[in-house]
A and B are shown apart, each in its own frame.
Chain A
Amino acid sequence: RKEVEQDPGPFNVPEGATVAFNCTYSNSASQSFFWYRQDCRKEPKLLMSVYSSGNEDGRFTAQLNRASQYISLLIRDSKLSDSATYLCVVNSVNTGGFKTIFGAGTRLFVKA
């Protein structure tokens, strides 16, 4: 089992749709969580950090469920410009130090 797993893509949605991505992690000692978006041939850009209390930034809402070991990202009222690959990132500490692990990414295509 991979340490960080994401929903397989691609997701093809019409403009205005609501879409949700999940990401599961296997290390219960994981400590910080993030969602990044990456456009084709560009670097990953931070979308939002993820907290147990949940956080919202405009049309984007992120949630962390420590008991079930998953994080989620909800995008409301999808825009064409939301088309990208969404990467979940998990940081954890173990006996060897910390680890930063990226999920494989979920591709989103928003169509007119």
Chain B
Amino acid sequence: DTEVTQTPKHLVMGMTNKKSLKCEQHMGHRAMYWYKQKAKKPPELMFVYSYEKLSINESVPSRFSPECPNSSLLNLHLHALQPEDSALYLCASSQDRAGAGVPDTQYFGPGTRLTVL
């Protein structure tokens, strides 16, 4: 089973709203990722959690706040977003070959399509 699930599938929010995106995997992976993808562009890495600790933050604005409650769950809390934050937000997970420091194959969830009005 290589399934990563994400909820909600679609989200429309105003610039003053607070919302959260959720991601779940049950493959025993210890690395989880958030990506942002704009139309006709490749995914851009936002955050990486390794063994439930934030290991990479690609200079993402503080209006995006990640959280990893346990090894199977990853959240992305959203607050005071801008219209330009509208995009497809993808979650991924992988085995973390911690010794090598390089991630294994990443498996993606279906994404949450976010629209900020």
Contact = CB atoms under 8 A, between A and B. Distances in A.
Is B a genuine binding partner of A? yes
Interface size class of A (residues with CB under 8 A): 20 to 34
A46 to B, nearest CB: 6
Contacts of A31: 100, 102
A31 B97 CA distance: 12
A97 B56 contact: yes
A63 B44 CA distance: 25
Contacts of B41: 104
B51 interface: no
B40 to A, nearest CB: 8
Contacts of A103: 42
Interface string A64-92: 00000000000000000000000101011
B45 A100 contact: yes
In this complex, which of B43, B110, B113 has the most chain A Cβ atoms within 10 angstroms of its Cβ?
Answer: B43
Interface stretch (A13-21, A37-45, A52-60): A37-45
A22 interface: no
A49 B95 CA distance: 14
Given A31-B100, A98-B101, A100-B103, A45 B42 contact: no
Interface of B: 33, 41-45, 55-56, 88, 90, 100-111, 113
